[in-house]
């Protein structure tokens, strides 16, 4: 996009409300959403070429719709594995990755394939409306290529290493087993069935073993390891957050990170990552963490109730993780400055 912009000579427009020589109000600058601009932008982006074995993919109707960097035809595959075998890509660019494909992506990452995903899914819908294109799998994968050519900074690595993929898959499994354990506990307490008791015991043991495995695998991730060493935090909840969102900690500002985790105002429908962060904050208070326990007491002494104080702890944990991701120092203990 830079090459296109350097060939354009900006023409200064009169200020809004200024008078022309002929009289009357001068028009303001042309909107970037004008049809002429969008047409020129689309043509310029289509003229660019990424190269290097890049494939753009979209998932829909139990199929994978793929478009190569230099191709015009949208190819349809039954799954990611077939796409990788047929096209041999070095990079796959997607808008998002369905949870059921996490394990498949993990195995493909081990072969050296890099995955990039769109940071904000709204970008795709905005591009669709700006170009007057209807939503379909074919159109979406073409728009994905156009977006990547024009705005590569709008994409981020889905995971930076096979270890991160492994931890992500294990924590996804932990989420499912934890939900089943909760349901089995309810069944155990409401019935006298020995089968329900046995299932609950088996699930408790499985979750405990899985949590230990997650911790051992997550120690291979730099941010998780630093969190254990510096913040004295660990466990599946932290591993889930780090493996799913490490890129955000390195790139987003403190305020944007708080917005992403729904900690700026009261929310009725918090995203799952926000729920895990709040659960992690509550766990540090229950276990009397030397830093976050004191922070909680600090806000309680200032008159905050339990829930607002927990949210303050969650926000400070978020700030500390961001500092660690950026290589900065965090406070060892005591109330916030």
Residues 311, 169 share a domain:
yes
Sign of CA dihedral 149, 153, 94, 163: positive
Mean pLDDT of the chain: 81
DSSP-derived secondary structure letter, 195: H
SS3 content of the chain, % helix, strand, coil (to 5): 60, 10, 35
Give the pLDDT confidence of 212-228 residue by residue, as tens digits. Answer: 999 999 999 999 999 99
* Residue 324: alpha-carbon gap to chain centroid: 18
- Is the pLDDT at 45 greater than 80? The verdict is no
Residues 169, 79 share a domain:
no
Greatest pairwise CA separation for the chain in angstroms? 92
Residue 138 lies in a domain: yes
Residue 42 lies in a domain: no
Residue 204 lies in a domain: yes
Residues 68, 185 share a domain:
no
Most trustworthy range by pLDDT among 21-25, 136-140, 254-258, 295-299: 295-299
- Is the pLDDT at 133 greater than 60? The verdict is yes
Residue 330's pLDDT band, with cuts at 50, 70 and 90, is low
Residues 182, 152 share a domain:
no
Most trustworthy range by pLDDT among 24-38, 52-66, 104-118, 286-300: 286-300
Please report the pLDDT score of residue 137 as a whole number. 86
Residue 24 lies in a domain: no
Window from 2-16, 178-192, 230-244, 313-327 with minimum mean pLDDT: 2-16
Which residue, 103, 124, 158, sits at the end of a domain? 158
- Is the pLDDT at 303 greater than 90? The verdict is yes
- The more confident residue out of 49 and 78 is 78
pTM for the complete prediction? 0.64
- Residue-number span of the structural domain to which 245 is assigned: 163-325
Residues 204, 122 share a domain:
no
Residues 213, 125 share a domain:
no
Residue 180's pLDDT band, with cuts at 50, 70 and 90, is very high
Please report the pLDDT score of residue 267 as a whole number. 62
- Is the pLDDT at 42 greater than 60? The verdict is no
Please report the pLDDT score of residue 160 as a whole number. 62
Which residue, 132, 158, 184, sits at the end of a domain? 158
With beta carbons less than 8 A apart as the criterion, state whether 276 and 284 touch.
no
- Is the pLDDT at 318 greater than 90? The verdict is yes
Window from 66-70, 81-85, 179-183, 332-336 with minimum mean pLDDT: 332-336
Residue 27 lies in a domain: no
Residue 9 lies in a domain: no
Residue 118 lies in a domain: yes
Burial 64-89 (b: 16+ CB within 10 A, else e): bbbbbbeeeebbebeebeebbeebeb
Q: How many domains does the chain have?
A: 2
Which residue, 122, 143, 158, sits at the end of a domain? 158
Average of pLDDT values for 88-101?
86
Residues 184, 313 share a domain:
yes
Residue 271's pLDDT band, with cuts at 50, 70 and 90, is confident
Counting DSSP H helices and E strands in the chain, the numbers are: 14, 6
């Amino acid at each position: 996009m830079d090459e296109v912009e350097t060939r354009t000579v900006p023409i200064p427009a009169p200020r809004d409300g200024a008078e022309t020589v002929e009289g009357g109000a001068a028009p303001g600058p042309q909107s970037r959403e004008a049809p002429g601009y969008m047409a020129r932008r689309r043509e310029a982006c289509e003229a660019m070429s990424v190269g290097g074995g890049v494939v753009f993919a979209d998932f829909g109707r139990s199929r994978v719709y793929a478009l190569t960097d230099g191709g015009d035809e949208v190819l349809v595959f039954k799954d990611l594995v077939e796409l990788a075998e047929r096209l041999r890509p070095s990079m796959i660019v997607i808008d998002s990755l369905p949870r059921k494909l996490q394990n498949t992506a993990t195995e493909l990452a081990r072969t050296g394939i890099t995955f990039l995903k769109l940071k904000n899914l709204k970008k795709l819908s905005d591009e669709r409306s700006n170009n007057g294109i209807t939503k379909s799998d074919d159109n979406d994968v073409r728009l994905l290529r156009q977006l990547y050519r024009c705005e590569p900074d709008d994409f981020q690595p889905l995971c930076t290493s096979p270890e991160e993929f492994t931890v992500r898959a294990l924590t996804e499994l932990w989420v499912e087993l934890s939900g089943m354990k909760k349901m089995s506990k309810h069944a155990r307490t409401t019935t006298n069935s020995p089968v329900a008791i046995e299932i609950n015991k088996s699930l408790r043991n499985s979750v405990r073993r899985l949590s230990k495995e997650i911790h051992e695998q997550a120690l291979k991730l730099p941010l998780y390891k630093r969190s254990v060493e510096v913040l004295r935090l660990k466990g599946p909840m932290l591993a889930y957050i780090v493996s799913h969102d490490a890129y955000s900690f390195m790139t987003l500002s403190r305020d944007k990170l708080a917005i992403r985790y729904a900690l700026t105002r009261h929310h009725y429908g918090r995203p799952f990552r926000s729920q895990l962060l709040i659960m992690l904050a509550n766990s540090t208070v229950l276990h009397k963490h030397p830093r976050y326990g004191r922070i909680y007491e600090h806000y309680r002494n200032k008159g905050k109730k339990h829930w607002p104080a927990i949210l303050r702890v969650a926000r400070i944990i978020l700030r500390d993780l961001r500092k660690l991701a950026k290589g900065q120092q965090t406070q060892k203990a005591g109330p916030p400055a």
